[in-house]
Amino acid sequence: MAESLDLPTVSVLMGAYNYEQYVGRAIESALAQDYPPELMEIVVIDDGSTDSTARVVEELARENPGRIRLVRQANGGYIDSTNRAIAESRGEILALLDADDLWLPEKTRLQVEMLQADPSLGLVYSDMVVIDGGDAVLHPSHLSYLNPVGERCVPALLFTNFVTTSSIMVRASLRDVFYPVPAAVPYADWWIALRAAEVSKIDYRPEALALYRQHGANMTNGRTGITAVRNSQMAVAFQLYALRHLPLDTLTPDELLHVWSGVEKYAGSAVQHSGSFFVDLTARLPSDGAQADALLAAADEAAGGSDPLAEARLTLKALAWDPFRFDTCERLKDSVTRAKLALSLADPLRGARGYRVLVDARELLAGDDLMLAYADALSGSEDVTLIIDASELPVDLAQSNLVELVDRCALNDRDDIDLVALVGPQTHDGRQRMLEVVHAHYSRREGNRQGAPVYTPSSLGELRARAA
């Protein structure tokens, strides 16, 4: 483990409501982390508990001076207590811990190591062992049936959630992206992961670093009956809210359909478990036909301007505002087909120089050093184009951040440094064609990708020689 001076401060965030039987052990598992205690704070929000939850926390705080902060508030619910915990935090890293779950001792250290190794990583999570109220193991791997994803995870997270509260560690520098969690959102963990994935990379440790407790009182343990119906309704509400309010400009045509199939999956689950086709799927988030009509009018304009991808995105948003329109669903499928055809005809590297080097925009934007090293090593060269892959970032964010990077590095008047930014989603076929005409990759990490060499700042001289 690195020296304390080299390590970030970590805030452990916990909301607790009437969990007197579990909260003490949850806090003790955070106190037992093999991480410098002076770099960790534990923030507990007692959300108006009517049992002895607060007393348990106060006793632990007395036994561990300076390590635990208890904040008491009137009952506001899960989202409100999560927001309060984030607001009270002081650490450079935020780690969420449910009051009935447990951490294994190495969790903080291993996840901090991941974040330190890759500045472009914004959030990390892990597998968890599923236990019951008495600590008996129900399943050795929570992720085994959730299909965890690292790269290309925005569409996957719009389809379903695989990032669970007590496994999450996220950079506090991303706070403005996900905080405050909207009151209409049922799941804070899902929201934080999705928002972080929009602007940074996320990744996971495959081993279990926490114990995830499922019992009669917690909110997502039900798999049958009325609890399963409620959980499915909550998932639909989350997905519809996200599709209504978040940008969809990183989604490919196929991903637009995939995301909507996730909404339909949870809707189908609600119908199945309720035993009725008349279950209210929008009880938590009502439909709005006027909003849907306005979006469909905008989709008409996009279609008239020969932009089928914009039409498809607007149509999906219209569906999110009024999911019961069969004709809108059919329009989504048709516009996706047209968008795929249009994208298949595009050449993303038209006009690039003879030697093409690909770099991930998220890694490039993690620090100016990568761009500055490239510009210095390739000074005077007219052989190379740096292809900046920003397809994973929202279009507006990618454009503004890359413009600022070029300005900071004083590259606007440099004819020798040729840059091409790929902004907006790529189809699988389009990306494969692009990779076929890329000669090398540029990264902080050595390796070999898709059969092409990877150059680091220390080996840029070799890149220049190869290009010449």
pLDDT (tens digit per residue) in 116-173: 999 999 999 999 999 999 999 999 999 987 877 766 699 999 999 999 999 999 999 9
Percent of the chain with pLDDT over 90: 81
pLDDT for position 288: 97
Q: Which ranges of 212-325 would DSSP assign to H, the alpha helix?
A: 225-245, 253-274, 289-304, 308-321
On the question of pLDDT at 218 being above 70, the answer is: no
Name the H helices within 7-123: 23-31, 53-63, 78-88, 107-117
pTM metric for this prediction: 0.82
Confidence of residue 451 (pLDDT cuts 50, 70, 90): confident
Beta strand 448-449 with 169-171 is unpaired
List, in order of start, the domains of the chain with CATH numbers.
4-213 (3.90.550.10), 225-344 (no CATH), 355-467 (3.40.50.2000)
Q: Which two tokens stand for residue 388?
A: 């900046």
Q: Are 177 and 94 in contact (CB under 8 A)?
A: no
pLDDT exceeds cutoff 90 at 266: yes
pLDDT category at 429 given cuts 50, 70, 90 is confident
Strand partners, 384: 355
Predicted confidence band at 217 (pLDDT cuts at 50, 70, 90)? low
Evaluate the omega torsion of the peptide bond into residue 180 and state whether it is cis, within 30 degrees of 0: yes
**Are the CB atoms for 413 and 268 separated by under 8 Å?**
no
Under the banding of pLDDT at 50, 70 and 90, the label for residue 452 is: confident
Choice between 433 and 267, residue whose per-residue pLDDT is larger: 267
Taking the CA atoms of 62, 64, 67 and 72 in sequence, report the sign of the dihedral they define.
Answer: negative
Cα distances from 242 to residues 93, 151, 265, 370, 458, in angstroms, run: 25, 20, 16, 33, 42
